[in-house]
Structure 1
Amino acid sequence: MKTLLVFDFDHTIVNDNSDTWIVQCAPDKTLPNVLQNSDEKGKWTEYMGRIFTYLGEQGIREDDMKRIMISIPYTPGMTELLHFIGQNKDRFDCIIISDSNTIFIDWILTHANVHNVFDQVFTNPAAFDRFGNLTVQNFHVHHCTSCPKNLCKRKVLEEFIAKQTSDGAQYSKIVYIGDGSNDLCPVTFLKKGDIAMPREGYSLQKHIAKEVEIIDSSISIWSTGNEILAHLKLLLE
């Protein structure tokens, strides 16, 4: 049986937030105060939609955005980790569950030639409209009160596992690699024998420390992709 690797994207695969990174496209690399202050808790996708509309109004087009986006740095050691996973696809299935969007993730993974490492990417669908403006939609509808309204990562993971099981696939363990507060919900889905890997110093680690009694999996903290790589090599022994 394979091991399932589940990755967050922002501050996990890449070492920044792709949604805030795109602001470098804006005039003076900043947003008007009224736009900056328009974010509402749990409504990040709508907020990003307003940012993309603003960028379009400033004449920012696809090529401009792509040039900025592919300059985002990968987390140290992460490309080495992804190449290792790619070389061992007979032992690993690998997915991304992210609150970014399909356009950004595809650009970034393709530029580093690591897109083929991932079997599926679950994130908010994005597209350029007929005016050349980037648009983004909520990933799905869910009823989880802990997660932002556009994405419950636990629901995505549950549905993915159910689909894989119905197709005859079984996993010896799940390894969940993330950093943010919205990664806690899927971590509570993990069972004994699975591994939660929160990034050191980020909010997921802090949430797990506060609510460790609701976590059934083992916990392994990481700060670079090299530490994750060392852990995966141990799993292959």
Structure 2
Amino acid sequence: MALLQDAMMGELHEQGKTAEDVRACLRSAPLSPHIVGAIKSAHARGCELRVLSDANAFFIDAVLAHHGLAAYFAGTDTNPAHVDAAGRLRIRPYHEFTVAAPAHGHGCALPSCPPNMCKGKVMERILQEEEAKASAARRRRRAVVYLGDGRGDYCPSLKLREGDYVMPRAGYPVCDLISAGSPPAAAVRAWAGFEDLRRVLLGIVDDEIARAVTTETEQDGAAAMNGGAVVVPADCRALPLPAHKEAALLPQAVRVPN
């Protein structure tokens, strides 16, 4: 995908199109208000949002900046991009590879992963980072919710564990692969349309909030009965069970793909 994007940018450059022309085109592309609402609502609940995409950094940064959403995301993993000295937009693979050995860059043999990027490898790294942070804070690892629709989103869904969630888009390749292949250990919550995406995602988030509050309450009660002390994760303190779901704050991690 990265090399194809790079080739397309080369053709546009030969036609006299600049990187700013490309940016202007990206700004004209509509973004569903349900997507914007889901991002802002999840962030308001305390979710950590990330982008894991086989697009490229230039496209993603341009779209997020145009819609005022850049500050809502903690990080982006995608194909790197830059504008060279001639003003041409260059896009490189996330995992470098050669035509002779296309799997050399990431080593994943799953046929649904393109040679330039294995999202499963990236997800493994993210999960390891989450485990390390949870261990240091003496708390359970935060739940991960992964959204996707393409073939490349199948591999990362298999890296998720029990207690996590994968949200495949109904009728799209990742949903077909999950149905036909090995099911992920994570709970599967399909969605169809952007309004449905917002409903399903925030439903998961609010369920996780209620579960975290219930667990904290039970731990506090057990400590009082036993006269001992309970180590409560800092990001779970002062979280009352919301009377209305829209007012909740969630210390869970949510991953947003392309």
Q: TM-score range by the shorter chain?
A: 0.7 to 0.9
Instruction: Write out the 4+ residue segments of structure 1 that deviate beyond 6 Å after TM superposition.
Output: none
User: What is the letter of the counterpart of residue 177 of structure 1?
Assistant: L
Q: How does 1:78-97 map to 2 (within 5 A)?
A: 78-89=35-46, 92-97=47-52
User: Would you say the 8 A contact 2:56–2:78 is kept in 1?
Assistant: yes
Deviations 1:127-180 (A, max 9, x none): 011111100111122000221111110100111222343343653321111111
1:216 aligns with 2:185: yes
- Aligned residue runs from structure 1 range 43-122, under 5 A: 44-75=1-32, 77-89=34-46, 92-122=47-77
1:177 is matched with which residue? 147
Q: Shift of the alpha carbon at 1:50?
A: 1.1
Q: Residue 123 of structure 1: CA displacement?
A: 0.2
Deviation at 1:76, TM superposition (A): 5.2
2:107 is the counterpart of 1:143: yes
CA distance, structure 2, for counterparts of residue 202 and residue 55 of structure 1: 30
Q: For residue 80 of structure 2, what is the amino acid of its counterpart?
A: P
> Is residue 229 from structure 1 mapped to residue 199 from structure 2 by the alignment?
no
Matched with 2:231 is none
Q: Which residue of 1 aligns with 2:128?
A: 162
Structure 1: state its 5+ residue gaps: 1-43
Quote the RMSD (CA, aligned, Å): 1.6
Distance, in Å, in 2 between the alignment partners of 1:75 and 1:231 is 20
Q: Tell whether the 8 Å contact from 2:53 to 2:77 is kept in structure 1 after alignment.
A: yes
CA distance in 2, matches of 1:50, 1:129: 14
Helix, strand or coil: the match of 2:28? coil
Q: Pick from 124, 127, 143 the counterpart of residue 82 of structure 2.
A: 127
Q: Quote how far apart the aligned CAs of 1:115 are.
A: 1.1
Question: What is the aligned length?
Answer: 191
What residue in structure 1 maps to residue 166 of structure 2?
196
TM-score by length of 2: 0.70
Contact 1:190 1:215 in 2 (8 A): yes
Counterpart amino acid of 2:107? Answer: H
- Output the CA distance in 2 between the equivalents of 1:163 and 1:235: 20
Percent of aligned positions with the same letter in both sequences? 29
Question: How much has 1:215 moved relative to structure 2?
Answer: 1.7
Task: Give 1:142's aligned amino acid.
Answer: H
Q: Comparing 80-89 with 96-105, which one deviates more in the overlay?
A: 80-89
- Cα distance in 1 for partners of 2:156, 2:74 equals 18
Decide whether the 8 Å contact of 1:85 with 1:117 is kept in 2.
no
Q: Distance in 2 between matches of 1:115 and 1:109?
A: 5
Deviations 1:178-228 (A, max 9, x none): 1111100010111112111001211111111111x4421111011223222
